Amino acid sequence: MNSTRRTPLDLLERLVSFDTESSKSNRAIIEFIAAYLDSYGVPYLRVPNEAGDKESLVATIGPLVEGGIVLSGHTDVVPVTGQVWTSDPFALRVADGRAYGRGAVDMKGFLALMLALVPDWCAADLARPVHLLFSYDEEISCLGVIDAIAQFGAALPRPRAVIVGEPTGLEVADAHKSVTVYTTRVHGFEAHSSKPALGANAVTSAAELVCEINRIGDALMAEGDSSGRFDPPYSTVSVGTISGGTARNILAKECVFNWEIRGLPDLDVAAIEKRFFAFSETIERERLNRFGDYGRIETSIDVHVPGLAPVPGSEAESLALHAARRNATISVPFGTEAGRFQDADLPVVVCGPGSIDQAHQPDEFITLDALAAGEAFMRRLTGI
When the pLDDT of each residue in the chain is averaged and rounded to a whole number, the result is: 97
Work out the pLDDT band at 4, boundaries 50, 70, 90: confident
Instruction: Show the domains of the chain with their CATH numbers.
Output: 8-175+308-382 (3.40.630.10), 178-305 (3.30.70.360)
Percent of the chain topping pLDDT 90: 98
Output phi, psi for 351, to 5 deg: -160, 120
pTM for this entry: 0.92
> DSSP letter string over 347-358?
-EEE--SS-GGG
The residue type of 99 is: A
Q: What is the mean pLDDT of residues 99-111?
A: 98
Quick one: which of 152, 134, 154, 153 has its CA closest to 144? 134
Torsion, Cα 339 381 229 275, to 10 degrees, reads 0
Q: pLDDT confidence of 5, banded at 50, 70, 90?
A: confident
Residues 305-316 have pLDDT tens digits of: 999 999 999 999
The stretch 325-346 carries a mean pLDDT of: 97
Alpha-carbon span 284 to 281, nearest angstrom: 5
Cis preceding-peptide flag for 114 (omega within 30 of 0): no
pLDDT tens-digit map of 19-75 = 999 999 999 999 999 999 999 999 999 999 999 999 999 999 999 999 999 999 999
pLDDT at 3 over 70: no
pLDDT of residue 91: 98
In the predicted structure, residue 356 carries a pLDDT above the cut 80: yes
- CB atoms inside a 10 Å sphere around CB 22: 19
Contacts of 252 (CB under 8 A, 6+ apart): 188, 190, 201, 202, 203, 204, 244, 245, 246
Instruction: Report percent pLDDT > 70 for the chain.
Output: 99
Residue 1: per-residue pLDDT: 65
Peptide bond into 232 cis (omega under 30): yes
112 and 7 Cβ atoms separated by less than 8 Å = no
Question: Average pLDDT for residues 291-303, to the nearest whole number?
Answer: 96
pLDDT digits (tens, 9 = 90+) for 220-276: 999 999 999 999 999 999 999 999 999 999 999 999 999 999 999 999 999 999 999
